[in-house]
Amino acid sequence: MYVCNTKPVQVTVYDSSGAFKTSFGENDLTQCHSVRLAYTDNKSGEATVWVTDHDDHTVKQFSTAGELLHTLGTSGTPGSGTDPVQFDQPTSVAISADKVYITDGEGGTNNRVVILDRTTLKTINTIGSKGSGDGQFDLPHGIHYDDTYDRLWVSDEKNARLQVFTADGEFIDKWTCGLHSPSEIVVNNEFGLLYVAQMPKPAAISVYSLEGQTNSSIGECKNVQTIELGSSFTDIGHMMGPGNSPMQNDSSIYATFPFGARCMDKYIQA
């Protein structure tokens, strides 16, 4: 399990029991905002670790041993370029077999998702601009690639909604029910559930049914549970689960709390 740490700034690594194994990135990261593990083939073979270095305006790719492999963006300088790609406080990364998706919007200059070719790391497309229309964003924060239906879920935080796109970036639909400030998303198709981190104090995790999904529809928005967290849980930093967690055969949801409680919690599907 790879987790962003803010003090000191680094990626910390734990085994499945929660025991600390190692850390890396202390000399390469300015502010570790989110982390994703990407396998070359369906959780087997080699893997790399993708980190959004929020305050450095970059996205960095590491080996699992902690070697810095690539830096995307202009270190220390925000921007909107696509060739080469630039970012303004990127927040999250999702990985498919052939693409890398990056939410780029917390700095305010950009409100978009950048799509890169996974092999060349060149820009293929960008999704969105600032606004409230379909396919527009006001702080796209969390992102999840759903390999079952080959589509992309994006949390549109200040517009209080989730937007869904094809893998190539075409708008499909949106959900708004029960949402007020969604930041992170995890899709669990095994149980037919979607988990959304919501950010007001205290923080909460909202659970949605994915019943009715088809290849052409995301179904009806239906909030089935809200996990209210205590007053010390002021901010959910990152969520991991099936589809974006390195833990094989594990349907649990993991949430990190960088402020207040300063811990990582595990939630088991009952």
CATH tag for 2-267 (out of 3.40.30.10, 3.75.10.20, 2.120.10.30, 3.40.50.300):
2.120.10.30
205 versus 176: the higher-pLDDT residue is 176
Q: Where are the domains of the chain?
A: 2-267
| pLDDT tens digits for range 238-259 | 666 654 454 445 667 676 665 5
pLDDT of amino acid 239 = 65
Reduce the secondary structure of the chain to three states and give it as a string.
Answer: CEEEEECCEEEEEECCCCCEEEEECCCCCCCEEEEEEEEEECCEEEEEEEEEEHHHCEEEEEECCCCEEEEECCCCCCCCCECCECCCCEEEEEECCCEEEEEECCCCCCCEEEEEECCCCCEEEEECCECCCCCCECCEEEEEEECCCCEEEEEECCCCEEEEEECCCCEEEEECCCCCCEEEEEEECCCCEEEEEECCCCCEEEEEECCCCCCCCCCCCCEEEEEECCCCCCCCCEEECCCCCCCCCCCCEEEEECCCCCEEEEECCC
Which tokens go with 43? Answer: 């959780």
CA gap 19, 264 in Å, rounded: 12
| pLDDT tens digits for range 37-88 | 888 765 556 899 999 999 999 999 999 999 999 999 999 999 999 999 999 9
Which tokens go with 75? Answer: 């270190």
| pLDDT tens digits for range 14-33 | 887 778 899 999 999 999 88
